[in-house]
A and B are shown apart, each in its own frame.
Chain A
Amino acid sequence: MAGFDKVVASYEEALAGLTDNMTVIAGGFGLCGIPENLISEIKRKGTKGLTLVSNNCGVDDFGLGMLLPNRQIKKIIASYVGENAEFERQMMAGELEVELTPQGTLAEKMRAGGAGIPAFFTATGVGTPVAEGKEVRSFNGRDYILEEAIIGDFAIVKAWKADRYGNLVFRKTARNFNPLAATAGKITVVEVEEIVEVGSLDPDQIHTPGIYVDRLIQGNFEKRIEQRTTRPADLHEVKGT
């Protein structure tokens, strides 16, 4: 590696140093914008006892769900799970610890972690099971609970384009948690569809500056779709929808 060039040669190199019992933050929403090849590499490496932080846990044979059959996940912190049968089995059997976290709180935990803010107050979850054991404080007559930031030993991120310095551009709703995850890893590894030359991205259009990125690799993506919903070709735009 020279200077700010973040590009690594292989997926093995991209996740070098990932060991058992680490915490990994992953970008993605459902199967959209997930770092699918980095997840495959974790499966290949066989790293175990992982705490995963991700909005969802994939499906049975794709995304983070692929880490379930070999029991690589010890705990998952997520807002919505249960799109796969093996997840359900492990959770019900007590083999997999699940910490359900409201989606906005999860995003803010990553943002705070990356921004050097150890905790924050939010009204989300007050009076619910999420508030159990957490400090409650009143501001302007309303109750808020204290939520702590999350930092990962690794963050795994999927972006659309990057330059070799790791400046990132995301595409459409594949952005989701990815920019937040990118800030919150001690080692942030990003896989992209295209790596372009430094200087070819417009600085005004960069979503994640390269300072957050440690390793960068170009991959091929399946981009599986979870719910393929369509309309007939002769139905055109309806005003307001």
Chain B
Amino acid sequence: MALSREQIAQRVAQELKDGYYVNLGIGIPTLVANYIPQDIEVMLQSENGLLGMGLFPTIDEIDADLINAGKQTVTMVKGASIFDSAESFAMIRGGHVDLTVLGAFEVDANGNIASYMIPGKLIKGMGGAMDLVAGAENIIVTMTHASKHGVSKLLKNCTLPLTGRACIKKVLTDLAFMEIKDGKFHLLERAPGVSVEEIIKLTEGELVVSGDIPEMKL
């Protein structure tokens, strides 16, 4: 079975380590906040200028001056800090954020990512995604492995305009967890009940399968 959005978030959360500063993108990455292990401390960075993002507010706590990068009302945890946008991206570009999780339309075997623009359709913009992929050492891309019609999104070469070049090393899809190195995808884990053959069939870029590939533990 392919992983649900929640299950993708659960698997990403296993990559969190105690003391990590983490930036979570919009969509599935946001859900990761719900699965942070109880025994570690993680600080969430929101690129509009907040380190230490908390839960959504109760109705009584809603504050128009306190939102996240998805423009949703949020709260702050104890020990949070606030800063301007240049400072926020100094943290990001300067490599101070330990882990970035973001979505994509396409990723290719050279670590290129396309996530912000489909020519001919409405172009909304890259927001902070280009800065995040350029600045972070440790990035996990979460995405679906293929389109509804079975067209692979893990390609030899991205077809859409790039968000970043040669910057992605880890991809988690609804079918598989992969590492990118030496111009190839390397299969690390498969979703429970998904066969290696299914993953190979839906991966256009070269996929290295070595030995037995374990199922993800959720």
Contacts and interface: CB of A to CB of B under 8 A. Distances in A.
Given A103-B127, A226-B71, A229-B72, A177 B85 contact: yes
A218 interface: no
- Interface size, B (range): 35 or more
With most chain B CB atoms within 10 A of its CB, the pick from A91, A98, A175, A235 is: A175
Contact of B33 (A104, A122, A160, A241): A241
Contact of A228 (B41, B73, B86): B73
B84 A237 contact: no
A55 B56 CA distance: 23
A144 to B, nearest CB: 9
- Interface size, A (range): 35 or more
A227 B55 CA distance: 14
Contacts, number: 201
Given A103-B47, A227-B67, A231-B57, A128 B127 contact: no
Contacts of B163: 128
Contacts of A122: 93, 134
Interface string B115-138: 001000011111111110011000
A102 B130 contact: yes
Contact of B131 (A103, A227, A239): A103
Contact of A231 (B55, B76, B123, B129): B55
Smallest CB-CB A-B distances: 3 pairs = A104-B89, A127-B165, A104-B131
Interface in A102-159: 102-108, 110-111, 122-130
Main secondary structure of the interface of B (DSSP, over half): loop
28 contacts: A29-B49, A32-B65, A91-B123, A102-B130, A103-B47, A103-B85, A103-B127, A104-B131, A107-B84, A123-B93, A124-B93, A125-B134, A128-B161, A175-B49, A177-B85, A180-B86, A225-B62, A226-B71, A231-B55, A233-B58, A233-B60, A235-B55, A235-B58, A238-B55, A240-B37, A240-B41, A241-B36, A241-B42
A82 interface: yes
A210 interface: no
Nearest to B165: A127
A114 B67 CA distance: 26
B139 to A, nearest CB: 14
B55 A127 contact: no
Nearest to A239: B38
B126 A80 contact: yes
Contact of A79 (B33, B38, B127): B127
Interface in B121-170: 122-131, 134-135, 161-166
B59 interface: yes
A230 B65 contact: no
Contacts of A126: 134, 164-165
B44 A241 contact: yes
A239 B18 CA distance: 12
Contacts of A12: none
